[in-house]
Amino acid sequence: MADQRVAIVTGAARGIGAATAKRLAADGFAVAVLDLDEANCADTVKAIEAEGGKALAVGVNVSEREAVEAAVERVANELGAPTVLVNNAGITKDNMLFKMTDGDWDAVIAVHLKGHFLMTQATQKYMTQAKYGRIINLSSTSALGNRGQANYSTAKAGVQGFTKTVAIELGKYGITCNAIAPGFIETEMTAATAARVGISMEDFKNAAASMIPVARVGQPEDIAHTVSFLASEGSGFVSGQIIYVAGGPKD
């Protein structure tokens, strides 16, 4: 339909991003599925199209300005002007502080912080023109501090400050900006963490669940449900917030 809203989800080839893209498509959005390798987006796009939705796969390195601007322009030309942005793309390069390299630090900061900045900057012009927008950034409970993640924790804390500032600057244009901070979510990324620390994924999950008040670990769909609300018209008075989706309270 001509007035179908367009959403962009970065890091949408798998995990939280894929679940989010599928949920937004189910909510009626045309969804741009962005990831580093366009070919890897095929499964998410096929899943959306199989349910009658509309999706477009776009390959982009979110930490490179020219690539981001070209990707967003392509989305605007092929799907329509984007008025919802989910900044989900992320990487981890975990290590203890004394072993962390410049490369480990720079790569994580670039994808998370510069990536969020570039994607938001490139899409906000469409939102300000429409006098409507929803920007949803992915932070993490690691923003509160997490052993072996000085780079990731710093980036995710930075995302929270970025979120609040964007909310202040763009609010008068009908644009909200919020962050979701997931706790333990069962994804390939958490499986990689389990492998790094040398325990089975099942033991890793059980240990995490034992410390979570709702007594289970999270699924990508738990985050997608929260994104769905924040991307909706009904969330218009919620802005500049950090929502911990972690099965219990976080400070």
Show which residues are catalytic: 152
Contacts of 209 (CB under 8 A, 6+ apart): 184, 215, 216, 217
Q: Which two tokens stand for residue 121?
A: 């900057």
Paired sense of beta strands 133-138 and 82-87, if any: parallel
CA dist., res. 220 & res. 224, Å (int)? 6
Strand order of the sheet with strand 55-59?
Answer: 55-59, 30-35, 6-10, 82-87, 133-138, 175-182, 242-245
Distances from the Cα of 145 to the Cα of 186, 190, 204, angstroms: 20, 17, 19
Sign for the CA dihedral angle at 147, 149, 150, 152 comes to negative
